[in-house]
Amino acid sequence: MDASPLDIDRIRRDFPILQKTVNDKPLVYLDNAATAQKPQAVIDAISNYYSGCNANVHRGVHRLSVDATDAYEGARSKIREFIGAGRVEEIIYVRGATEAINLVAQTYGQANVGTGDEVIISTLEHHSNIVPWQILCKQLGATLRVVPINDAGEFLFDEYEAMLGPRTKLVAINHVSNALGTINPVKRIVEKAHEHGAAVLVDGAQAVPHVMVDVRALDCDFYTFSSHKLFGPTGVGALYGKFDILEAMPLYQSGGDMIKSVTFEKTTYNDLPYRFEAGTPNIAGAVGLGAAIDYVTELGMDNIARYEHDLGRYAAEALSSVPEVRLIGTAREKAAVVSFVVDGVHPHDIGTILDQEGIAIRTGHHCAQPVMERFGVVATARASMAFYNTRDEIDKLVDAVTKVIKVFR
């Protein structure tokens, strides 16, 4: 491997949980697509927030409230810069990618999709980017169309182009697939959709932690991600939307903070982004997310992407050298995710045996049952990597898989 500027040994020491043993073995954490581990800096930021400046935001003149508001809004600025948005008003705090997609479906979707119109998704989507659109289409008498994938798990662009038409109002696509790791050609997808006047939501839950994202370069209308997959806390995430689109969108939830003034006769709604943030938000979560962004920015997203790309290829090659292993998802453009099945062994049994070796992987359908169906399997085993994983850990994974095969021979 070319020398990476990342000092992985030092980085691993930043993550307290990586020092842990599981079943008397050092933890090998390869379930990063489910959720990523947290560096001490994130844990400290949350703890310091609660011990040093906890107060409600946007409503106090007292010192703590001002500090809390600064921390909360400071994190919003970090998100804006991190994903390349033009204005902080375009960054809306949500609980995570799931809430963001539901928000867009029930605001923008309700206002812009009509009976007989079409919403396009792909076979690769996580359930959270399927079900909200199914519900919307059912509510409105619209049709949900699904772009197929090839045997490598790649988005079929020609089929997509053929699907686009005057009825297409919205395209919702993931940037990186959680089940297979496929990186989708999002920029081209957006370009084509716009030619037909359709808006595009990009589910970036699996992209933001691993590649540099620039929402203005992608020109997407909405982009979303979850903090917990980006080494930040659970329960918070962000939705980016183009300013003019957000301005025109109907309301989501209502209550405090999203209003300017309320009388029993009339309520005036707040400006962006607060209009979509009813109620006391997850302030500590936002602060933790800001710290996570600082952490990965310090390492450099380009360094992270390069290191993980190399590791992902190493893992794919090592696993595919085991004859009983079949990789599911072999796209040319791929994140460091390896989904696989072993002849005659159910993924759950693989997962249990690997756990005995201290290795954490995900087994199951990965909330992407249509992907499983496409490949004729009920489940896969999935190793998903982050920058703190090493080749040594991949070797341990391969050894353990070999052991699984022995047990079941």
Residue 44 CB, shortest distance to ligand PLP, in Å, is 23
Residue 151 CB, shortest distance to ligand PLP, in Å, is 21
Token look-up 């309301």 returns 251
Residue 28 CB, shortest distance to other proteins, in Å, is 17
Among other proteins, ligand PLP, none, partner that 407 touches (CB below 5 to 8 angstroms by kind)? other proteins
Residue 203 or 357: the one with the smaller Cβ distance to other proteins is 357
For residue 214, the one-letter residue type is D
Residue 260 CB, shortest distance to other proteins, in Å, is 44
Residue 363 or 384: the one with the smaller Cβ distance to other proteins is 363
Q: What is the DSSP string of 125-190?
A: --GGGTHHHHHHHHHHT-EEEEE-B-TTS-B-HHHHHHH-STTEEEEEEESB-TTT-BBP-HHHHH
Residue 350 CB, shortest distance to other proteins, in Å, is 9
Are 320 and 145 spatial neighbours (Cβ–Cβ below 8 Å)?
no
98 forms part of the interface with ligand PLP (CB under 6 A): yes
Residue 48 CB, shortest distance to ligand PLP, in Å, is 24
**Which member of 37, 106, 128, 384 binds ligand PLP (CB under 6 A)?**
128
Q: Which of residues 165-194 bind ligand PLP (CB under 6 A)?
A: 174, 178
The token pair at 50 is: 């609660």
- CA dist 354 and 31 (Å) reads 12
Are 145 and 123 spatial neighbours (Cβ–Cβ below 8 Å)?
no
- CA dist 87 and 90 (Å) reads 6
Are 313 and 2 spatial neighbours (Cβ–Cβ below 8 Å)?
no
Residue 222 half-sphere exposure toward CB, CA atoms < 13 A: 31
Which residues are at the interface with other proteins (CB under 8 A)? 23, 344-349, 352-353, 356, 363-365, 369, 372, 378-379, 407-408
Residue 100 CB, shortest distance to ligand PLP, in Å, is 8
Are 181 and 210 spatial neighbours (Cβ–Cβ below 8 Å)?
no
Among other proteins, ligand PLP, none, partner that 352 touches (CB below 5 to 8 angstroms by kind)? other proteins
Helix (H/G/I), strand (E/B), else coil: 219: coil
Are 315 and 397 spatial neighbours (Cβ–Cβ below 8 Å)?
yes
Residue 68 or 379: the one with the smaller Cβ distance to other proteins is 379
Residue 9 or 24: the one with the smaller Cβ distance to other proteins is 24
Among the listed residues 111, 311, 148, 131, the one whose alpha carbon sits nearest the alpha carbon of residue 203: 131
122 forms part of the interface with ligand PLP (CB under 6 A): no
Residue 12 or 403: the one with the smaller Cβ distance to other proteins is 403
206 forms part of the interface with ligand PLP (CB under 6 A): yes
- CA dist 145 and 277 (Å) reads 31
126 forms part of the interface with ligand PLP (CB under 6 A): yes
For residue 171, the cross-strand partners are: 120, 200
Within 10 angstroms of residue 353's Cβ, the number of other Cβ atoms is 19
Residue 359 CB, shortest distance to other proteins, in Å, is 13
Residue 311 or 337: the one with the smaller Cβ distance to ligand PLP is 337
Judged by CB under 6 A, the stretch of 73-81, 108-116, 126-134, 390-398 that binds ligand PLP is 126-134
Residue 100 or 318: the one with the smaller Cβ distance to ligand PLP is 100
**Which member of 11, 97, 236, 296 binds ligand PLP (CB under 6 A)?**
97
Q: Residue 261, class by beta-carbon neighbours within 10 Å (0-12 exposed, 13-18 middle, 19+ buried)? A: exposed
Q: Which of residues 289-328 bind ligand PLP (CB under 6 A)?
A: none
Residue 176 or 190: the one with the smaller Cβ distance to ligand PLP is 176
Lateral strand order in the sheet of 222-226: 91-94, 237-241, 222-226, 199-203, 168-174, 118-122, 143-147
Judged by CB under 6 A, the stretch of 111-119, 122-130, 333-341, 400-408 that binds ligand PLP is 122-130
Catalytic residue numbers? Answer: 367
Q: What is the DSSP letter of 239?
A: E
96 forms part of the interface with ligand PLP (CB under 6 A): yes
Among ligand PLP, other proteins, none, partner that 126 touches (CB below 5 to 8 angstroms by kind)? ligand PLP
**Which positions touch ligand PLP (CB under 6 A)?**
96-98, 126, 128-129, 174, 178, 203, 205-206, 226, 367
